[in-house]
Amino acid sequence: MVLVVRGELRLTAGKAAVQVAHAAVMLARAARSRRDGILEAWESEGQKKIALVVETLAEMQALERKARGAGIPTVLVEDAGLTEVPPGTRTVLGLGPAKASDIDRVTGGLPLL
């Protein structure tokens, strides 16, 4: 599972952590409903999660399209706007769970958060 944060938002560490957690929960729920065994495999392998960063919404959207085109599950977290950003701001793109090699082909060049 990879969680990609929008760097341009300059979220505090706590806010970024919460937004990443939202994405992880959303991905796990979606995987559970697919019943394809991916969630169970991810859980049995330690539930690996990596946080990365892109600078802009445009980069995040391009990454989402690339991931979807590769068949990788995605979610977008939209903030409620109660603290640091306006309502509806897209803060995090979540990818997976999926094979690390598949996700690496999409996100391998991104820096760690």
Helix (H) / strand (E) containing 22:
helix 13-34
**Reported pTM:** 0.95
Residue pair 93/74 in contact by the 8 Å Cβ criterion: yes
Instruction: Map residue 82 onto helix, strand or coil.
Output: coil
Q: Is the pLDDT of residue 35 over 90?
A: no
- Domain extents in the chain: 2-107
User: Mean pLDDT of all residues in the chain?
Assistant: 96
Tokens 């979540």 sit at which residue? Answer: 94
Alpha-carbon span 35 to 55, nearest angstrom: 34
Residue pair 5/76 in contact by the 8 Å Cβ criterion: no
- Supply 103's token pair: 């996700």
Q: Is the pLDDT of residue 77 over 90?
A: yes
CATH number of 2-107: 3.40.1490.10
* pLDDT tens digit sequence for 10-32: 999 999 999 999 999 999 999 99
